[in-house]
Amino acid sequence: MTLLNTTSSNPDLRGFLSENADVVTTITKPVCLDHIGALSAQSEQPILFDKIVEKPGFRLTDIHVKHRHLQARALGVPVEDYLKTLAFRLRQPPRGFKHVETGPVKEVVVTGEDTDWTKLPIPIHSERETDPYITAMNIVVDPETGFYNSSHAGTNPTGPRSGVVSFATPHTHVVMNKYRARGERRMPIAMVFGLHPAFEIMANFSGLHMDMWGELEMVGTLLNTDIEMVPGETIPINVPAHAEIVVEGWIDLGDPAEWGEVVSPSGYYLPKIQRVPTIEVTAITHRADRPIYRNHQTCPYTDHQVLPRLCHEAMLYNRISEMGVKVHDVRFPHWGAALTAVVQVEAPRPGYVNDVLMACMGAPWLNTKTVVAISPDTNIEDADDVFHAIATRVDPARDTFTVENTRASLYDPSAEPLPDHPPFRLGSKIGIDATIKDRFNPDDFLRTWPKHWGEVELKDYLS
């Protein structure tokens, strides 16, 4: 397998939106900031708001990777090659960075008393939330290795130069503890808005890697191109030169602040209360020509459910393939509440599917509560078809099993809260074998379809 030869030496968000204009919905009518979340969540493809009533100097975009065909565009490969390509590239060494003195993100530089990140077009994401919610890619640097660790941590501004940050990923906490062990009382951080989607896919990697590389060093590997980085203005961190907006600041490593509920990937207001660190904002840099704010609308079914699990899919693909199972696809579907994995496999003989289910259920993450195995004839894109396979190919007594007393997602309200370890929970997992079994008569599973199904289209008769 070969890596993609990109057409741009510096892939950026503007280039991606332009090259994929055929699937981008551009809203040219003026839109109120309060309406953007509801409008974004109705889109199944990238959406760009060109005129924001309250923030006329900015644009806003969302829904870049919700579906597989969009994820494939992020890597520049056909849909059928996407998963195996990502899985392959994640096994390659990091390409690293190309350091330059300046770039488009430095066209406007604001520091000192003029710094005010409440001027950004930051939406409120749900009915019960009262504060704007930032979902930018965060960059912190491991003080021991120098590796660049990245994630998407939910952030609430509390003033022009202050806010609270909810770091859900354990690796960021490892980095923070390294600063504390060195006697540091604060940690530099960069929040980056408006990047090529490949940055965001890689930023959400959560496997074993911190002794070898940081996520950001791998973006060039995903795209097979050099990623240009420029120095920060007020922090000792380099940032992507072709980003739209960068907010620089320092995380207070002292006592955390209590903060209220936000929307979780499972679609509930969990956790109810968090103890999170505070941030002091020290600079904002951005492009001069109407910079594009990258939002991640958190509900109901958006990039928020899908994006953090894309690298998980690729890692499960590698893990299952090592067993000698033919893997057609792996999905954490947006309709699965970020708690469900569906694996489409062909097993060489009985016994393999249960091993596949157990391998997925025992993954390092907290989002494999329900794992469903399906055959290649089941449409993994279609929740109706997956549930049809569960309904008709599963003998509950023989084809399901549960495991008790497992780590549960802190976003799962059905799991038991652990009072001594907030906000973590204890729960169970279930594996469901919805494949066609050897004990079945294959002729019993021939689906019924109308005559000429797939040959004639209703839309052709509506114009």
> For position 6, what pLDDT does the model report?
43
> For position 5, what pLDDT does the model report?
43
C-beta of residue 58 within 8 angstroms of C-beta of residue 291: yes
> For position 260, what pLDDT does the model report?
86
> For position 3, what pLDDT does the model report?
41
Task: Tell me the per-residue pLDDT of 49-108, one tens digit each, with 9 for 90 and over.
Answer: 999 999 999 999 999 999 999 999 999 999 999 999 999 999 999 998 999 999 999 999
CATH 2.30.110.10 domain position(s) in the chain:
81-288
Q: Which residue ranges of the chain lie beneath pLDDT 50?
A: 1-8
> For position 262, what pLDDT does the model report?
84
Task: Tell me the per-residue pLDDT of 393-430, one tens digit each, with 9 for 90 and over.
Answer: 999 999 999 999 999 999 999 999 999 998 899 999 99
Distances from the Cα of 381 to the Cα of 67, 75, 261, 299, angstroms: 9, 19, 31, 20
C-beta of residue 293 within 8 angstroms of C-beta of residue 61: yes
> For position 17, what pLDDT does the model report?
97
> For position 208, what pLDDT does the model report?
83
- Torsion angle (degrees, nearest 10) of CA 102, 144, 226, 314: -130
CA atoms within 13 A on the CB side of 274: 22
- Which residue in this structure is represented by tokens 């190309």? 98
pTM of the model: 0.94
> For position 9, what pLDDT does the model report?
57
Cis peptide before 188 (omega within 30 of 0): no
CATH 3.40.1670.10 domain position(s) in the chain:
323-437
CATH number corresponding to 81-288 = 2.30.110.10
Architecture of domain 323-437: 3-Layer(aba) Sandwich (3.40)
